[in-house]
């Protein structure tokens, strides 16, 4: 995406630090991803502007990373930004000393503000390089000595703390958590659903959340699939990018919820979510799913592929269909978005309306790389479909079997992080890829009783341990390159489940190192609720 920018972008690699130290230049490190709206805006306003590009080329070594290919670097930058600036997001920019110590962070800025920011940083660096180096180095926390301690946190205690914190933060009126934005928080919802018994208020909240997510505007009712989040607390205004991992995690969740409450509408939502991924994201060249579809259309309009003007609706629909839409969507009032209305099922003619409003998958800007770990999450979703959707058993089995064999093949030797559109390897597999593929294979093996998968599961578990586990904890990649990148015993959930929760399943020694964090912030470590199940304990979740 940035190949033609006038900024002299470098790829992230250890030689960047070497060059920076030789030339005594600051490093301008920018992290983004293809389907991110503000990343596109930042590129158009700044990276493609000759004035900004000239200033960056003169004073900085500029590095652009794809956060989806380099989540280890991105996660480090985001952690620093939250501490230094109080907030983080994408595009995320962090200024590093030539030695690789971060000291300043910011997100999207318009051109005039960005130029002012860059000039201030350069002036400060020219005036006080020693002080900046000293402060930046001091801010990097040193690894704590690892002390052996007993693991005494029980699953019951963890779940109780989890439910207690959830009851404080749950939005009982609209579902989800109390916040200005609404994210699915799938790991949290999954842990809530997995409890053998739940307080009634938590069950009611979970059902409300599932109902809201599938019926309001987090879901694309025309093309299928969930958006990444909404920018309002009522699930009404989506941020229009769609991620493969969102589809995988929510399809699995809705299949399980449909089974628990005998809700055919939940099963249908799960089914349509997988169908969206198969129609819009499948790449026959790689035999894998691609990563995402953009929030902006080919004309740089946010939501342009999903929003309809009144005129476009009138041109596309039959008169009786249009009249129904006009009444139900209140077309006589101002459009809720600059580009029009976001469709929602109507009481009449919906099947016909939906067919006429569908967008061709080829017209939506799509990130063409296929990330192995996210495909592992899709395998887990197919395992849930295999268990709870007997009407489509043969089709599910065929797709999941193909996906499992493709993932096993990709992990035979030096697995990449992803494959390009034309099946070329990209980057190196990290801890997420190993964890999510291991979990996918486990889930598929559990449903199909395919014992031939066990050897591959054990091999990947051993490789993950040898690649990413150090005496100070787990690392995202097998070769950390920045001085502040340290091991962690427990990685938090975010939009994706924690990879260490999967890899540390049943390891009481590792869990002991992180039990204090699990007790203090159980919502942030929701995926760890399943870790006790690996002990084959008789203790039930309650």
Q: What is the tens place of the pLDDT at every residue in 195-228?
A: 989 999 999 999 999 999 999 999 999 999 999 9
Secondary structure (3-state) at 394: helix
Residue 279 CB burial class (10 angstroms; 0-12, 13-18, ≥19)? middle
> What pLDDT is recorded for position 453?
94
> What pLDDT is recorded for position 480?
67
> What pLDDT is recorded for position 97?
93
Instruction: Assess contact for 512 and 151: CB atoms under 8 A.
Output: yes
Q: How far is CA 48 from the centre of its chain?
A: 27
Query: What are the tens digits of pLDDT across the range 469-512?
Result: 998 899 988 776 787 778 889 999 999 999 999 999 878 889 99
Query: What are the tens digits of pLDDT across the range 59-84?
Result: 999 999 888 888 888 888 888 888 88
240: left (phi over 0), alpha (psi -120 to 50) or beta: alpha
Q: Kindly give the pairing relationship between strand 102-106 and strand 425-426.
A: unpaired
* Residue 25, φ and ψ in degrees, nearest 5: -110, 150
The confidence band for 144, taking pLDDT boundaries of 50, 70 and 90, is low
Residue 428 CA to residue 477 CA, distance in Å, equals 8
DSSP sequence for 157-208: HHHHHHHHHHHHHB-TTTSSBSSSSB---HHHHHHHHH-SS--HHHHHHHHH
Residue 84 CB burial class (10 angstroms; 0-12, 13-18, ≥19)? middle
Q: Which alpha helices (H) appear in 345-498, and where do they start and end?
A: 350-357, 372-388, 393-410, 431-448, 453-468
- Name the nearest CA neighbour of 464 among 456, 242, 201: 456
3-state secondary structure string, 20-80?
HHHHCCEEEEEEECCCCHHHHHHHHHHHCCHHHHHHHHHHEEEEEEECCCCHHHHHHHHHH
Mean pLDDT of 242-263: 98
Judged against a pLDDT cut of 80, whether residue 41 lies above it is answered with: yes
Place of tokens 């559990």: 446
Dihedral sign (CA 522, 188, 448, 425): negative
| Mean pLDDT (the chain, rounded) | 92
Mean pLDDT of 228-253: 96
> What pLDDT is recorded for position 153?
92
Residue 416 CA to residue 68 CA, distance in Å, equals 12
Lowest mean pLDDT among 275-279, 506-510, 515-519: 506-510
Residue 18 CA to residue 14 CA, distance in Å, equals 7
Give the end-to-end CA distance of the chain in Å, rounded to a whole number. 49
Judged against a pLDDT cut of 80, whether residue 410 lies above it is answered with: yes
pTM above 0.85, yes or no: yes
418 versus 539: the higher-pLDDT residue is 418
Q: What are the structural domains of the chain? A: 14-139 (3.40.30.10), 242-296+368-469 (1.50.10.10), 310-358 (no CATH)
Query: What are the tens digits of pLDDT across the range 321-376?
Result: 999 999 999 999 999 998 999 999 999 999 999 999 999 998 999 999 999 999 99
Judged against a pLDDT cut of 80, whether residue 394 lies above it is answered with: yes
Query: What are the tens digits of pLDDT across the range 81-140?
Result: 888 888 888 999 999 999 989 999 999 999 999 999 999 999 999 999 999 998 888 877
In the 8-state DSSP scheme, what is residue 292? E
185: left (phi over 0), alpha (psi -120 to 50) or beta: left
The confidence band for 145, taking pLDDT boundaries of 50, 70 and 90, is low
> What pLDDT is recorded for position 419?
96
Mean pLDDT of 427-445: 96
Judged against a pLDDT cut of 50, whether residue 541 lies above it is answered with: no
261 versus 338: the higher-pLDDT residue is 261
In the 8-state DSSP scheme, what is residue 340? B
> What pLDDT is recorded for position 539?
34
The confidence band for 36, taking pLDDT boundaries of 50, 70 and 90, is confident
DSSP helix, strand, coil percent of the chain (3-state; round to 5): 50, 10, 40
């Amino acid at each position: 995406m940035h190949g033609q920018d006038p900024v002299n972008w470098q790829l992230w690699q250890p030689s960047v630090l070497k060059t920076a130290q030789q030339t005594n230049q600051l490093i301008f490190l920018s992290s983004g991803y293809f389907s991110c709206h503000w990343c596109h805006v930042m590129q158009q306003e700044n990276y493609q502007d000759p004035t900004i590009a000239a200033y960056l080329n003169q004073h900085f070594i500029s590095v652009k990373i794809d956060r989806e290919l380099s989540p280890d670097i991105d996660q480090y930058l985001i952690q620093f930004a939250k501490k230094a600036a109080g907030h983080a997001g994408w595009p995320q920019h962090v200024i590093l000393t030539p030695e690789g110590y971060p000291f300043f962070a910011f997100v999207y800025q318009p051109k005039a503000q960005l130029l002012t920011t860059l000039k201030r940083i350069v002036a400060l660096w020219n005036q006080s390089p020693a002080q900046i180096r000293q402060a930046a180095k001091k801010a990097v926390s040193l690894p704590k000595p690892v002390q052996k301690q007993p693991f005494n946190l029980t699953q019951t205690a963890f779940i109780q703390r989890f439910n207690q914190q959830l009851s404080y933060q749950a939005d009982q009126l609209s579902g989800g958590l109390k916040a200005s934005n609404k994210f699915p928080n799938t790991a949290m919802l999954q842990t809530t659903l997995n409890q053998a018994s739940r307080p009634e208020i938590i069950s009611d909240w979970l059902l409300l959340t599932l109902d809201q997510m599938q019926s309001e505007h987090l879901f694309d009712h025309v093309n299928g699939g969930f958006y990444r989040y909404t920018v309002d607390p009522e699930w009404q205004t989506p941020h229009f990018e769609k991620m493969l991992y969102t589809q995988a995690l929510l399809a699995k969740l809705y299949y399980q919820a449909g089974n628990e409450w005998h809700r055919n509408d939940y099963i249908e939502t799960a089914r349509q979510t997988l169908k969206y991924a198969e129609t819009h994201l499948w790449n026959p060249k790689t035999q894998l799913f691609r990563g995402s579809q953009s929030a902006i259309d080919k004309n740089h309009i946010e939501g342009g592929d999903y929003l309809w003007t009144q005129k476009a609706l009138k041109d596309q629909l039959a008169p009786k269909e249009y009249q129904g839409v006009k009444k139900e969507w209140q077309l006589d009032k101002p459009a809720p978005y600059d580009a029009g209305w976001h469709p929602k099922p109507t009481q009449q003619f919906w099947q016909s309306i939906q067919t006429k409003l569908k967008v061709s998958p080829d017209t939506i800007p799509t990130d063409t790389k296929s990330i192995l770990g996210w495909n592992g999450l899709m395998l887990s979703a197919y395992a849930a479909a295999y268990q709870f959707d007997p009407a489509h058993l043969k089709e599910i089995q065929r797709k999941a079997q193909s996906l499992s064999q493709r993932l096993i093949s990709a992990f035979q030797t030096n697995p990449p992080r992803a494959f390009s559109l034309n099946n070329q390897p990209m980057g190196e597999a990290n801890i997420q890829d190993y964890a999510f593929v291991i979990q996918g294979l486990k889930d598929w093996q559990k449903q199909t009783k395919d014992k031939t998968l066990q050897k591959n599961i054990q091999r990947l578990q051993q490789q993950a341990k040898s690649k990413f586990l150090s005496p100070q904890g787990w690392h995202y990649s097998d070769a950390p390159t920045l001085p502040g990148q340290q091991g962690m015993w427990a990685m938090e959930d975010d939009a994706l489940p924690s990879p260490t929760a999967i890899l540390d399943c049943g390891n009481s020694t590792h869990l002991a190192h992180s039990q204090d964090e699990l007790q203090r912030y159980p919502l942030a470590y929701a995926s760890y609720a399943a870790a006790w199940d690996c002990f084959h304990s008789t203790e039930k979740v309650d």
